[in-house]
Amino acid sequence: MPSEGPASWQAFLAEPERQWRTGYSAKTLAHCWENACGLPDEIAQMFDGPAELLLALPEHRVPLDGGNHDSQNDVFALIRFGDQTCAATIEGKVNEPFGPTVGDWFSNPSQGKQERMRHLCSLLGLDEIPPSHIRYQLMHRTASALIEARRFKTDEAAMIVHSFSPQRMWFEDFVMFLRLFGLEAAPDTRSVLTLKSGQRLRLGWASGSADFWLVEI
């Protein structure tokens, strides 16, 4: 279904009335991406050389092993840069946190949660369950990118946080997540690594304009 503008994105939200609010990530992200008519500049800068948006799907669901809940990604994008293609999940943020930590989510885990954690760790190339302070959302958003990269047979996967917070709220959570892979994070800087599986993974924090979270329409 082709988009007819930012309002088209609202229908795909899990809770359309509650989540579509000025100053929050869903509405902000929609206005930013629609205004760009392609890749927003700050997202394009996460790639090597000129980058082109091939396809963008809002609120894209990716099934994960264990449990009944998919990972619902704010935007899934197929991106071409040079002679390479990338399957990217985009996590929009204004001031909202990344949700529960691993410690909170995995406290007294059910069999389904144990299965999911094993699945996520396998995809991310982690030998053990991450420390309790790591945000679970960053794990399954990154895993979604890796799953879709395999499905679409792209050259790499990417998980990019598209933040519109002038104070860069929750950036420290992203820093701690990258340290799982031996990487140091910096705003508007990309990090690329090759996982044990051989998949190439790109991680980045892109700073969007705060003007978009002030839009009332």
Radius of gyration of the chain (CA): 16
Return the HEC string of 172-202.
Answer: HHHHHHHHCCCCCCCCCCEEEEECCCCCEEE
1 domain residue, yes or no: no
Range of the domain at 25: 6-214
39 domain residue, yes or no: yes
189 domain residue, yes or no: yes
Average of pLDDT values for 164-170? 94
Query: pTM to 2 decimals?
Result: 0.94
What's the Cα-to-Cα distance from 52 to each of 17, 22, 78, 155, 191, rounded to whole Å? 32, 28, 9, 15, 19
Quickly count: other Cβ atoms within 10 Å of residue 40's Cβ: 20
The residue among 40 and 9 whose pLDDT is bigger is: 40
pLDDT digits (tens, 9 = 90+) for 113-165: 999 999 999 999 999 999 999 999 999 999 999 999 999 999 999 999 999 99
pLDDT digits (tens, 9 = 90+) for 179-206: 999 999 999 999 999 999 999 999 999 9
Task: Identify the pLDDT of residue 213.
Answer: 66
DSSP string across 87-137: EEEEEEESS-----BHHHHTSS--HHHHHHHHHHHHHHT-SSPPPTTSBHH
Q: Which of 1, 25, 31 shows the shortest CA–CA distance to 13?
A: 25
Task: Identify the pLDDT of residue 178.
Answer: 98
10 domain residue, yes or no: yes
Type of residue numbered 5: G
Task: Identify the pLDDT of residue 68.
Answer: 80
Average of pLDDT values for 84-91? 98
72 domain residue, yes or no: yes
Domain count across the chain:
1
63 domain residue, yes or no: yes
